[in-house]
Amino acid sequence: MPQFSKRHLFTTFLILIIPSLLYAQGRIIHSPPAGVEIGKEVEIFVSVENSSAPVTELKVLYRQRGSQSYKEFSMFESSGFWSAVIPASEVTDAGLEYLIIAELQGGGQLAYPENNPYDQPVFIPTLIVKAAELQEAAQMQGAVAGSNMIILSPEPNSRTKVEETLIAVSLFYNDDIDLSSIAIYLNGINITGSSIISEELITYASDDLDPGLKTVIIEASDLSGEPLVPLQWDFTVVSDKVRTESRFKISGKAVVDSRGDKIQGVTDDVTTSRLSFRGNYDFVNYKGLAYLTSKENEFLQPKNRFMFGLNTKYLTVNFGDLNPNVTPLTIYGKRIRGVEGILDLGYFNLHAVYGELEREIPADIMPKSEVLTDENGNRVWDKAEAFDDFGIDSIAGTGDLGEGNGVYDLGEPFTDLDGNGVWNGDEKFDDFGKDGIKNTGDSGEGNGVWDGVGKVFRGGTFSRNLLAMRASFGPNRRFQWGFTFAQARDDSLIATNLPDRVGLNLQSGRPAVFDYLSSDAPDGEKIEVILGHAPKDNMLLGTDLFYGIDNNRIILEGEAAFSLLARDITGGPFTKDNLDTLLDDDFDGKIDGRDIPIDPGDYEKIFILNQTMIPLDPRGLNSLTYNAGLKMSYFKNFLRANYRFVGSEYNSLANPFIRKDIKGFDISDRIRMINSKFIVSLRFERLENNLAEDKENTTTTTSFDGGISLYPGRDMPRISLNVRNIIRDNSVDTTRIDDLLGYIDRRLNNATVTSTFSIGYDVEALGLKHRLNLNVSNSESKDEFEQERLNEKFEDDNLNGRRDPNENFTDENEDGKYNSFSSSNNTSAAIALVVNTEYNFPLKTQVQFLTNNNKSELSEFGYTFFGVGGKYLMFADKLEINGNLKYTSTSGTIEFNETRLGGGARYYITPKQSILASAEFKKRVQPEKTFNDYIVRARYSISF
């Protein structure tokens, strides 16, 4: 094999290996929540342990079960924990799937789940906690035999504020109602056209209701045309203020939070401010929010958030930080900072989005220390050795920017063992990754001489802007045909904090490489500057269709999209001559004998077409994606079937979490029995990759899910059991030997079985009210080739858990190379128990117990958590005192014991105004160190 090909193959091998390593430098600790209820928001808590670099951003990606795309939500950090709230609208009876991604400084990532997180996310079955209670209360609330309509809100004869009034009625227990026959009247006025009617719910919301008594009447017929007894009830709308002249209405909440803490010896002070409000003026509704934090940093993507929106019957306009949903295949929940407009004219609709997907982060050059001492010569940084932190904070330690990951990498400075300041032949040398060979005279500071303090470049990020438009035709509830265009493009110019901007020159033809001429360097020293990625351009074209039949009991829907991605636009668009020689071998002004019809330069405002385009030849349709689905709801069955195809070269920079290179189908059914007290869910899915047949093997993934949910009635336990079986197989059953890489084992045939059992029980005991939620989950992955894997043993002389070059190993296949192919066997078991208790006096307590154990061929990790807390109300509920005690113990790859004791008080100055003060003290015992930490917090909030 020629030398160039070997090096190319070796580079490819590294590209394949490095991403898996990035997921191994730390761990996200998280326990999925128990007792998740349909229609209620879900709060996710995580902590990050032993990360090799600081966490710059942590995201939760979530979707309803069966959806193709994930929505994203940034998590917020507080006192060493990260949290996010998944909206109630996403928590349906289909169940919830999510995964967590931590972005590390320097480019690494951590994930939860750790193995195949995008394809096998966490699945949480949901409970219909109030179903039985609602049905049994139906008669008391106004439902009568033959209608089975249940009032959810407002409750009969209740009082509700203008801004909080939502008319909601459940149809969950009525499968025979004719949805087209439903008529809704409010004080004698027909509001059916302004209401939302689905198979399970009727809702109506308005901010324009005048204070006073309101009467709601809902009329309907069954499928045979027989009228049902109308549902009628009264409630009263009240207002805090008398608005006789002003039509301006507003309500909201403002919070200022200040926190100081010391976590594992590191002090940190954070101040955040939040403001949210909504209201209306005449026929215009508005809403807004703002979140400001002292953690905002110009060298990171924004943490501050703001939004303001206006809404009328026909037009909606939103400004600021938004998560627009255009279509599932193009733009679906990705945060942008910009403007969104939605025009709804009934039979014609327009949705437009413009803004910034990623903000520009300026490039910079900073001082850099060149030496990493490795006194014991094991190529691993030990705590007793000095460390190169690349000049970020002048403190030696792991987790610093650059290659500061605590492990000696090829790109790091040499080891000056004898301290003479000059590289000797027996010392490891930094060649800055130029050719993998330890030569003197390499570029960068790799000149064979210790330079003391040099310079390092902190790479920037290009500004990425998005423009998207979707026009659709047809009435929304019955038929709609939409057409989408979207473009996401990086600004190829980037700001810098360099002393001499004149010396900065972007070189065309190389991925985002600068030559920087420093005005303050001796002899005009040049420093080559490489950004994290080249500027890109992305264009999407799509169409989607929705068709509802029989009052939407049958729904046909589908979507198709096509993408183009230019990976590097620094050289601009192609010329006609470039096109001529790209797609055929003749330089004749033609392609396949046909005249070239266009000049790419004429269309560069739409898309920059050049040699870095994916796909290079769009005629192969590898960048095409489409899906088609059928939904049917009859005879207490909700049947769904879907087929999808996502080409390997399909790319949407505004929807980066779509699983590519996949095709297949899934079919599911949800069956309701015994008045919906017993529900059975079934799902089958079969997917395969390698659509372009450009891989050696095709992997087929087959999964089956089954679940039952039991809601027997009031004062009875609510039970849910779900089982999932996933089989992945690539039909490879042999190994082979490669001249360069040696022994290769690409066999894949494993089965993963996951079971989840949940029980919720409201019970009265000892005169007290208790709500118990128990969640038990177990997962086991079995590798069919476990006994045949070649996993050679080594002598771990320095006890670092990895084989170093100087350590002996058992050369079982006698090829002179160390081979380690661990099986994919792993097990995980978790138990979560939460007990909430209400006493006969103003005291509420909560007891939590969590345990989780994970074991694989490479590592073992487990943790146990116990917590008890409570709150007590005093002085006519004006003062709330709370306290808690928490204990966490971990074992395996990460070991520590942690005890937390906290308490605080909230005082209500007025019913809408409060102050809070709290403190928590924490003792953390690790094998080699003990930390005594604290967290203090003050908070002021006001509602209006």
Buried b (16+ CB within 10 A) or exposed e, 631-652: bbbeeeebbbebebbbbbbbbb
Radius of gyration of the chain (CA): 31
| Model pLDDT for residues 74-113, shown as the tens digit of each residue | 887 766 678 888 887 777 777 788 889 887 765 567 888 8
Give how many domains the chain has, as a whole number. Answer: 2
Same domain, 118 and 7: yes
Q: Which residues pair with 350 in a beta bridge?
A: 343, 471
For residue 26, tell me if it sits in a domain: yes
One domain for residues 67 and 108: yes
One-letter amino acid at 626 equals Y
The listed range with the strongest mean pLDDT (394-403, 851-860, 867-876) is 867-876
In this structure, are residues 41 and 85 in contact, taking their beta carbons and an 8 Å threshold? yes
- The contacts of residue 457 (CB under 8 Å, 6+ apart) are 363, 364, 365, 516, 527, 529, 530
| Among candidate residues 77, 98, 124, the one where a domain is terminated | 124
pTM of the full predicted structure?
0.72
Q: Do 109 and 183 fall into the same domain?
A: no
The structure tokens 């990171």 sit at 300
Is residue 859, in this structure, part of any structural domain at all?
no
Neighbours of 494 (CB within 10 A): 21
Q: Which 8-state DSSP code applies to residue 820?
A: B
| Burial call 859-883: b when 16+ CB within 10 Å, e when fewer | eebbbbbebebebbbeeeeeebebe
528-558 pLDDT, tens digit each: 444 456 789 999 999 999 998 887 788 999 9
Instruction: Judge whether 737 lies within some domain.
Output: no
Residues in Cβ contact with 296 at an 8 Å cutoff, skipping those fewer than 6 apart: 302, 303, 304
| 463-472, 572-581, 695-704, 912-921: least confidently modelled range | 572-581
Pair (39, 117) in one structural domain: yes
Q: Residue 155 is part of a domain; what is its CATH number? A: 2.60.40.1220
Q: Among 212, 238, 264, which residue terminates a domain?
A: 238
CA distance 70 to 658: 7
Q: Which two tokens stand for residue 335?
A: 């945060």
**Residue 91: inside a domain:** yes
Within this chain, do residues 51 and 71 fall inside the same structural domain, yes or no?
A: yes
Whole-number average pLDDT of the chain: 75
pLDDT at 170: 81
Flag whether pLDDT at 60 surpasses 60: yes
H or E element, residue 8: helix 3-22
Q: In this structure, are 156 and 222 located in the same domain?
A: yes
Q: C-alpha angle with apex 472: 466 to 475, nearest 5 degrees?
A: 145
Asked if pLDDT for residue 306 goes beyond 90, the answer is yes
Does residue 144 lie in a domain region?
A: yes
In DSSP terms, 778 is beta-bridged to 755, 829
Mean pLDDT confidence for 570-586: 69
CB atoms near residue 353 (< 10 Å): 23
Strand (E) positions, 313-408? 315-322, 325-327, 331-332, 336-344, 348-358, 364-369
Helix (H) or strand (E) holding 578: helix 576-583
Confidence bin at 295 (pLDDT 50/70/90): confident
- What confidence tens digit (pLDDT) does each residue in 478-514 have? 899 999 999 999 887 654 444 433 333 333 333 333 4
d(C-alpha 616, C-alpha 495), whole Å: 31
Q: Which of 238, 271, 299 is the last residue of a domain?
A: 238
- State how far the Cα of 178 lies from the Cα of 186, in Å rounded to an integer: 20
What distances in angstroms separate CA 344 from CA 217, 468, 473, 836, one per listed residue?
A: 28, 17, 10, 45
Q: Are residues 118 and 136 in the same domain?
A: no
User: Residue 866 pLDDT more than 90?
Assistant: yes
Q: Percentage of residues in the chain with pLDDT exceeding 70? A: 70
- Is residue 785 within 8 Å of residue 824, measured between CB atoms? no
Name residues whose C-beta falls within 8 Å of residue 483's C-beta, 6 or more positions apart in sequence: 470, 471, 472, 542, 543
Kindly state whether residue 881 falls inside one of the protein's structural domains: no
Judge whether 149 lies within some domain: yes
State whether 62 and 138 are in the same domain: no
Question: What digits encode the pLDDT tens for the residues 619-631?
Answer: 778 899 999 999 9
Q: Do 115 and 10 fall into the same domain? A: yes
Instruction: Give, as one character, the DSSP assignment of residue 695.
Output: S
pLDDT over 80 at 153, yes or no: yes
Q: For the domain that residue 82 is a member of, what is the CATH number?
A: 2.60.40.1930
Full domain range(s) for residue 92: 3-124
**The CA-based dihedral angle spanning residues 506, 507, 512, 515, taken in that order and rounded to the nearest 10 degrees:** -70
Q: How far is CA 215 from the centre of its chain?
A: 44
**Rounded to an integer, what distance in angstroms lies between the CA atom of residue 653 and that of residue 564?**
11
pLDDT at 80: 66
Does residue 585 surpass a pLDDT of 90? no
Beta strand residue intervals within 635-741, DSSP E:
637-646, 662-673, 678-688, 700-710, 718-729, 736-738
Distance CA 124, CA 150 (A): 27
Whether 628 is covered by a domain: the verdict is: no
What pLDDT does residue 391 have? 30
CA 620 from centroid of its chain's CA atoms: 32
Whether residue 535 contacts residue 570, with contact meaning beta carbons closer than 8 Å, is answered with: yes
Q: What is the predicted pLDDT for the residue at 296?
A: 85
Residues 58 and 7 in one domain: yes
Least confident interval from 506-520, 540-554, 559-573, 927-941:
506-520
Give how far Cα 244 sits from Cα of 461, 657, 944, Å. 54, 51, 19
Mean pLDDT of all residues in 918-935: 89
Coil, strand or helix at 865: strand
Residue 147 predicted with pLDDT over 60: no
Whether residue 26 is found in the same domain as residue 120: yes
Measure the CA dihedral 330/334/338/343, to 10°: 50
Q: Are 239 and 212 in contact (CB under 8 A)?
A: no
Judge if 159 and 234 occupy the same domain. Answer: yes
